[in-house]
Structure 1
Amino acid sequence: MIGRGKTGNTKFMKQMNREGILHQLRQEPRLSRAELAAKTKLSRPCVSALVEEMIGEGLIREVGTGESKGGRKPILLEYNVQAYAVVGAVFEGSELEMAVADMKGELIAQVHTRLNRPVDGESALHALEATLARLLETSGIARDRVIGIGVGLPGITQRLSGTVSYAPSTGWMDLPVGKEIEERLHLPVVLDNDVNMMTQGEFFGGAGSGVSSLVYMYVGTGIGAGIIIDKQLYRGSREASGEIGYMRIGDSPGRRKDEFGVFEKNFSVAGIHGKAKALGLHVDPEASTLKQLIKLAEEGHPQADVLLNEVYHGWASGIANTVSVLDPEMLVLSGEMVHLNEAGLDRIRELLFDWVPVVPEIRLAELRERAGLLGAVHSVLEAHSSAAMGAGI
């Protein structure tokens, strides 16, 4: 068997020991050197030497004294969550949201970019580069402090390979987008479906906090769902779970392989806007179509009322198909659906009670665009922690 050699083994063990100390401080802030030695089962001189080294690097800082157990009061230590940073980015249609966060996942700064339409792969990549530069300048964080970026993209993404296998909105089909982003940004990249990232953000810090299973339904340029089962994101055998935009709901004309699904063609933001236009209703494509339809209906426009009922029926059909299979504890409605008023929510609930045996708790998303950013940041922190524990860095 070929070994690492003495120098390699020494360096590897030192990295493992450092990570062990950092792991304890992430789990339980404010520990003394003696407590770290006991928890990591390392000698006190070893812990002291590594702690001094990491204090010098800014990874650990001293934060006062603890209670004495007979001698001098111990100096307490904590992990410096500002030592490094992570970036999260989420695309939705022609919009790009990006934020930088500390190592605890707290957002420090956020910027928004509107892309020129139509959006293609090259313009999306260029927007990532330019927006990252603007974000780092705004936040004052140096690029060498960023450990990675999480990017949420519409379509079917293979997280491990960094491949986007199906994304009609950008034209990415079976392309190694993750590798391209890494080469352009010079940062490690975690790639995932945008709605999956929104789902995780809402689950960890929004309307879904405290439940063990939920479905997060998003209506925007397309329609998608994120699925949490037993507190774990469910991706499916080929990471295509939640692609509910391909349900056969609404008018079903012929469809090419690279087009949107039937459900989203009919009841996404673009689909609803097209229906409004066909009925002669004047709606601004830059504002919420649903809010405008609700206002027109309240003003007595019968066509707006008819279309609203069609939309509620279409959305409820997608929800019924999803919850009847998964039976989630909670359903979180997001994207265009956050503009539902009480009457709209009541109508969707009425339809569901008529159609399915068990209706979950239904809530509107709380975090809006921050959900995807928090999910993207969380994905980087999770990947970094797993890699560090596995490789001892």
Structure 2
Amino acid sequence: MVLGGSSKLLKALNEAAALGHLLDHGELTRAELRALTGLSKPTVSEAIRRLTEAGLVVGVGHETGRPGPNAEVYAVNPDAAYAVAMSVRDHAPALTAALYDLRGAQRAHLEVPVDFTRTDPVSAVDETVAALCEAAGASREPVAHVQLAVAGAFDPRDRVIHHVDVPGWSRPGLVDELGARLGTAVGIDNDVNLAALAERAHGAAQGADAFVLLWLGDSGLGLAIDLGFAWSGSIGAEPHRARPGVGALLRGARGGAGEIGYIPVGDGDFHDLVGPDAVRALAARYDTREELLKELAGRIVLGLAAVVAVLDPPLVVIGGELARAYGEPLGDAVTKAMSHAAPLETAIAVSTVDGDAPLLGAGDAAVTAVRETLLAALRQPTP
């Protein structure tokens, strides 16, 4: 609860409280805002007036069906700020992108064929942002955050994307060049980490206190680790518990947590067993799906059992194109194989996210970043 007051700081905090509840709940009357914030009627009215003048809040109609005057209903202005999500791939289409408004609604979606051996990533991203805004009939000026999903590890210390196979994307200075060209905040994260955000918000991990996402994709493997705690932001800092059912991703000191393909297995590594080429070769050897899934599950368990032994997650979600292709039968086969091989009992589920999970997660992350930036700005009023 924020206490009312006459200082600029208190007014700013009151505005941030009102906007935060509108972002969370969608549409609210002044009475509902008073109940949620604990603020007085005049204070709520003043906060709404200032937010409306700032273009952050709009009236969306009147509440009906109750005795007395119809109360005006308010919501955030969807066009006050936009967020962009992009997924970068080493196969066609090289870029998929989406534009979201402040309410989280997708306003445009594009698949862009790009030859990164000939096109600079900075130009490709910049042109795609412009094309998204044009497709949505929206101004580019309100774009406040661009979130990129890449099949690699972004190291925040040297600000370089490592272990990425897309030409040009490992170039030192690229991330800062993107920010300078776009004139907006740019977020970089591993595509499987962002797929895990989508899984928690929209898929099989909804409500889970913790989980890991094993990604078996057409272009590689990955593991996202969400064990229900959050880092304070600095290397070496102590973790703190996240809200139940929310969690936080573990990215590692250099952004490389979850590179499961490099786990040594026999004379090779995990990628040699369940990477895209290995699975295609395996599928060619079997006449029936049942035999194929039994062999594939046995291979998956060789890496997954180590993950479970070290992390002890309550839930493992299997995602990626392979999971989409084989569905629940793959989950059942892995569950059976894990019961014989893993030292700890863990629930196994197959992803239920519909569509491009990394792009969807990038959209969630981008919208969240825009909202947090707006709220932080309101809490720090100008002198």
Task: Output the TM-score relative to the length of structure 1.
Answer: 0.75
Mapped to 1, the partners of 2:141 and 2:158 lie a distance apart of 22
- Does the CA-based 8 Å contact 2:83-2:370 persist in structure 1? no
State the 1:37 CA deviation. 5.4
Equivalent in the alignment of 1:239: 255
Equivalent in the alignment of 1:324: 309
Mapped to 2, the partners of 1:344 and 1:43 lie a distance apart of 56
Change (3 A) 1:138 1:174: closer
Change (3 A) 1:165 1:29: closer
Change (3 A) 1:65 1:238: same
- Does the CA-based 8 Å contact 2:317-2:349 persist in structure 1? yes
Change (3 A) 1:109 1:367: farther
State the 1:198 CA deviation. 0.5
Report 1:292-307 matches (<5 A): 293=283, 297-298=286-287
What letter corresponds to residue 264 of structure 1 in structure 2? H
Equivalent in the alignment of 2:232: none
Q: CA RMSD in A?
A: 3.5
Mapped to 2, the partners of 1:201 and 1:127 lie a distance apart of 25
Change (3 A) 1:359 1:249: same
SS at match of 1:366: coil
SS at match of 1:232: coil
Change (3 A) 1:134 1:388: closer
Change (3 A) 1:343 1:34: closer
What letter corresponds to residue 102 of structure 1 in structure 2? D
Whether 1:269 aligns to 2:272 is no
Report 1:243-262 matches (<5 A): 243-249=259-265, 251-252=267-268, 262=269
SS at match of 1:317: helix
Whether 1:170 aligns to 2:166 is yes
Indicate the structure (1 or 2) with the bigger Cα radius of gyration.
1
Please say which of residues 149-158 and 233-242 is displaced more in the overlay: 233-242
- Does the CA-based 8 Å contact 1:148-1:187 persist in structure 2? yes
How many aligned positions are there? Answer: 350
Mapped to 2, the partners of 1:341 and 1:370 lie a distance apart of 16
Identity %: 26
Equivalent in the alignment of 1:386: 372
SS at match of 2:356: helix
Larger fraction in helix: 1
SS at match of 2:74: strand
SS at match of 1:233: coil
State the 1:193 CA deviation. 1.2
State the 1:392 CA deviation. 2.4
Mapped to 1, the partners of 2:69 and 2:161 lie a distance apart of 61
Mapped to 1, the partners of 2:184 and 2:200 lie a distance apart of 27
Unaligned stretches of 5+ in structure 1?
Answer: 1-8, 253-261, 277-289
Mapped to 2, the partners of 1:175 and 1:266 lie a distance apart of 32
SS at match of 1:86: strand
Mapped to 2, the partners of 1:358 and 1:120 lie a distance apart of 46
SS at match of 2:204: coil
State the 1:145 CA deviation. 2.8
Mapped to 1, the partners of 2:288 and 2:47 lie a distance apart of 70
Mapped to 2, the partners of 1:43 and 1:228 lie a distance apart of 40
Unaligned stretches of 5+ in structure 2?
Answer: 1-5, 229-246
After superposition, the C-alpha distances for 1:164-193 in whole angstroms (9 at most, x for unaligned) are 342241365583433222223232112111
Mapped to 2, the partners of 1:123 and 1:271 lie a distance apart of 32
Mapped to 1, the partners of 2:95 and 2:166 lie a distance apart of 13
State the 1:297 CA deviation. 3.0
Change (3 A) 1:299 1:270: closer
State the 1:195 CA deviation. 0.8
SS at match of 1:152: strand
Mapped to 2, the partners of 1:35 and 1:345 lie a distance apart of 45
- Does the CA-based 8 Å contact 1:329-1:361 persist in structure 2? yes
Equivalent in the alignment of 2:220: 222
SS at match of 1:48: helix
State the 1:201 CA deviation. 0.7
Whether 1:357 aligns to 2:364 is no
SS at match of 1:340: helix
Task: Output the TM-score relative to the length of structure 2.
Answer: 0.77
- Does the CA-based 8 Å contact 1:155-1:193 persist in structure 2? yes
- Does the CA-based 8 Å contact 1:148-1:188 persist in structure 2? yes
- Does the CA-based 8 Å contact 1:63-1:78 persist in structure 2? no
Report 1:85-96 matches (<5 A): 85-94=82-91, 95-96=94-95
- Does the CA-based 8 Å contact 1:89-1:373 persist in structure 2? yes
SS at match of 1:148: strand
Equivalent in the alignment of 1:257: none
Mapped to 2, the partners of 1:360 and 1:236 lie a distance apart of 23
Please say which of residues 16-25 and 120-129 is displaced more in the overlay: 120-129
State the 1:346 CA deviation. 4.2
Equivalent in the alignment of 1:146: 143
- Does the CA-based 8 Å contact 2:215-2:318 persist in structure 1? yes
Whether 1:156 aligns to 2:153 is yes
- Does the CA-based 8 Å contact 1:105-1:374 persist in structure 2? no
Report 1:92-103 matches (<5 A): 92-94=89-91, 95-103=94-102
Equivalent in the alignment of 1:192: 189
- Does the CA-based 8 Å contact 1:312-1:348 persist in structure 2? yes
**Among residues 205, 210, 230, which one is paired with 2:202 in the alignment?**
205
Mapped to 1, the partners of 2:259 and 2:198 lie a distance apart of 18
What letter corresponds to residue 249 of structure 1 in structure 2? V
Change (3 A) 1:67 1:350: closer
Please say which of residues 195-204 and 136-145 is displaced more in the overlay: 136-145
Whether 1:19 aligns to 2:16 is yes
- Does the CA-based 8 Å contact 1:157-1:239 persist in structure 2? yes
